[in-house]
Amino acid sequence: MGLLVVGTLAFDAIETPFERRTEVLGGSATHFAHAARFFAPVELVGVVGTDFPDQALRALEQRGIDVRGVEIAPGKTFRWSGRYEADWNTRVTLATELNVFERFDPKLPEAYRSARYLFLANAEPCVQMKALEQVTAPELVVADTMNLWIDIRLKDLEELLQRIDGLVVNEEEARMLTGKRNLFQAARALLERGPEFLIVKKGEHGAFLIGRDVRFALPAYPVEEVVDPTGAGDSFAGGFMGYLAGAKDLRPGSLRRAMLYGTVTASFCVEGFGVEALERLEKPRLEARFQELASLVTP
């Protein structure tokens, strides 16, 4: 009945124009879950190594996130390191160590198979498909992807597109997938290949929602002090899907509100390293920023 996310738990090493941090708790599923937990119970599927501190799992549980689907495998946890340039928009990946994630074979606990809302965080499309196939009757399936899979796993990705309701991409990915430079032409082309709607992430410039019955353009919340943009996209997805799972309503008005909540959770995410700012966040501040954003963008 709940909201299920399948993705990574990771340790990140992050260099920003101002600071350098190592062993930051991150990963797509972690960010998603920390953002979604404000709205609905979250179930998490992923894999960590034996180096993953039990305390980090307990911290997730304490926030109402179900971690029974986190497998502990022999070896080391996924690690990513990257650097942000002074304009924050340029991100250079310094190293990716897949470690235990390389052989990630998602196995959903029996209790998770009835999930109605499913987020497939960025992973090899065949892994995303394996997870999807274990969910009995999902109502809303949204997937993220990346340029690497568009390059080397396009056929699998095309199959996945036919099985999902929503796709999350950035502008470059939308163009790569369709060969169309104009974002709206690209979006229309993608909607013909399966999904009901598309979310195009534009970072500090906001996000677009383009579906058959809905088009919504939203600027980003103006964060004054960005600390670390890592995980902003997954936090957006967490706020977006969390709100929908809580509201149990997929009509256009609800999708629009979900975009605002996604923008708000992403804005908190970037105010700290990893999930630190989302961990500290409480619902009243989240709601206050939602109201502030609504007033900022309402004509």
Q: For residues 89 and 136, which CB has a smaller minimum distance to a copy of itself in the complex?
A: 89
Pick the binder of a copy of itself from 91, 113, 155, 205 (CB under 8 A).
205
Taking CB under 8 A as the rule, does residue 84 contact a copy of itself?
A: no
Neighbours of 82 (CB within 10 A): 17
Dihedral sign computed on CA atoms, order 276, 280, 286, 288: negative
Pick the binder of a copy of itself from 217, 248, 251, 280 (CB under 8 A).
217
Pick the binder of a copy of itself from 110, 192, 224, 282 (CB under 8 A).
224
Taking CB under 8 A as the rule, does residue 54 contact a copy of itself?
A: no
Q: For residues 73 and 226, which CB has a smaller minimum distance to a copy of itself in the complex?
A: 226
The least distance separating a copy of itself from the CB of residue 275, rounded to whole angstroms, comes to 23
x/- track of binding to a copy of itself for residues 156-195 (CB under 8 A):
--------------------------xxxx----------
Pairing label, strands 10-15, 79-84: parallel
Pick the binder of a copy of itself from 57, 215, 247, 279 (CB under 8 A).
215
Pick the binder of a copy of itself from 131, 260, 264, 277 (CB under 8 A).
260
Angle in degrees, CA 205, 168, 279, rounded to 5:
75
Three-class HEC string of 115-171: CCEEEECCCCHHHHHHHHHCCCCCCEEEEECCHHHHHHCHHHHHHHHCCCCEEEEEH
The least distance separating a copy of itself from the CB of residue 221, rounded to whole angstroms, comes to 9
Pairing label, strands 207-211, 197-201: antiparallel
Pick the binder of a copy of itself from 110, 192, 213, 225 (CB under 8 A).
225
Taking CB under 8 A as the rule, does residue 109 contact a copy of itself?
A: no
Segment interacting with a copy of itself, rule: CB under 8 A, options 52-60, 117-125, 216-224, 267-275: 216-224
How many residues of this chain bind a copy of itself (CB under 8 A)? 26
Q: Are 83 and 229 in contact (CB under 8 A)?
A: no
DSSP-assigned letters across all residues of 26-53: E-HHHHHHHHHTTTS-EEEEEEEETTS-
Strand runs labelled E in the chain: 3-6, 10-15, 20-26, 42-49, 65-73, 79-84, 91-97, 117-120, 140-144, 166-170, 197-201, 207-211, 215-218
Output the furthest CA–CA distance in the chain (Å, rounded). Answer: 54
Taking CB under 8 A as the rule, does residue 282 contact a copy of itself?
A: no
Segment interacting with a copy of itself, rule: CB under 8 A, options 36-44, 77-85, 213-221, 273-281: 213-221
Segment interacting with a copy of itself, rule: CB under 8 A, options 72-80, 229-237, 251-259, 266-274: 251-259
Neighbour order of strands in the sheet with 117-120: 65-73, 42-49, 3-6, 117-120, 140-144, 166-170, 197-201, 207-211, 215-218
Instruction: Give the residues lining the site for a copy of itself (CB under 8 A).
Output: 182-185, 202, 205-206, 208, 215-219, 222, 224-225, 256-257, 259-260, 294-299
